[in-house]
Structure 1
Amino acid sequence: MAVGGNAIRGTRVGSGPMGEQDHGHQADRLAVSYWDALGNETVRHYAADVAEDEIPDMIDHPHSGLPAGRDKDNPPEMSRNEPYKTHLAYVKERRTDEEAEELLGEALQKVRERRGQ
């Protein structure tokens, strides 16, 4: 390995002065803070000329995954996770035991008729 300084190490050829201050203009931005139910804060940046009604009131916090709102003292509540339900569980919510017995009886009758019993 060569000993000594290399003036262009880490720079692009033709990049201009270090720091590249002459490359582009940074637009004015508006920083908006959001808080989740655990008190975590995240900041989102929006263009300064965006209308207030276009800035969302709630987002999903990128680290906790919880909903986050703009009011620090009153953040959105943590959503409850519903347990996984099987198809049978959903059917049982829609039908009473009597309806289930009736439907089962009709289905068995059709099967018996097909089989010639």
Structure 2
Amino acid sequence: MASANTIRGSRIGASPARPTERAEPAPRRQTTYWCANGHAVEISLAVDAAAPETWECPRCGLPAGQDRHNPPARPRTEPYKSHLAYVKERRSDADAEAILAEALAAVRARRGES
């Protein structure tokens, strides 16, 4: 038995049968962006929409700007930090010793050791 919520004759992602009759597309303008590798990226924007300062280049992933001769610089990537590195930034060695002593005392108390 078919579910009552299914729509027969359609599929996920299906477009309307006649989109030209239902709505008129917004007026568009082409905007070009250039990345540091010299790739040109052309995107369509609505006429009344503000163009973003940067756009990600689909070929190399670098940021692209509207100035062909002065594209945005490569983003500076931060090195990977482990959880321990973040803890060491927040805690001093004396704090770490105190926390360790407290945790060891709790474990020994649970075990019945002195």
TM-score interval w.r.t. the shorter chain? 0.5 to 0.7
The number of residues matched between the two structures is 91
Letter in 1 for 2:78: E
- Specify which of 47, 51, 71 is matched with residue 48 of structure 2: 51
Matched, 1:62 2:58: yes
- Specify which of 53, 58, 81 is matched with residue 85 of structure 1: 81
- The answer for the alignment partner of 1:15 in structure 2 is none
Unaligned stretches of 5+ residues in structure 1: 1-23
Tell me how far apart the structure 2 counterparts of residues 38 and 66 of structure 1 sit (CA, whole Å): 8
Tell me how far apart the structure 2 counterparts of residues 99 and 74 of structure 1 sit (CA, whole Å): 49
- The answer for the alignment partner of 2:6 in structure 1 is none
What RMSD over aligned residues (CA atoms) do the two structures have, in Å?
2.3
TM-score (norm 1): 0.64
1:81 alignment partner, SS class: coil
Q: Which of 1 and 2 has greater Rg? A: 1
- The answer for the alignment partner of 1:42 in structure 2 is 41
- The runs of at least 4 consecutive aligned structure 1 residues that moved more than 3 Å come to 24-29
Change (3 A) 1:29 1:51: closer
1:42 alignment partner, SS class: strand
- The answer for the alignment partner of 2:102 in structure 1 is 106
Change (3 A) 1:26 1:51: closer
Tell me how far apart the structure 2 counterparts of residues 26 and 97 of structure 1 sit (CA, whole Å): 63
- Specify which of 71, 75, 80 is matched with residue 71 of structure 2: 75
Letter in 2 for 1:91: V
Unaligned stretches of 5+ residues in structure 2: 1-19
Aligned residues with identical type, % of pairs: 49
Q: Quote the offset at 1:29 in angstroms.
A: 3.5
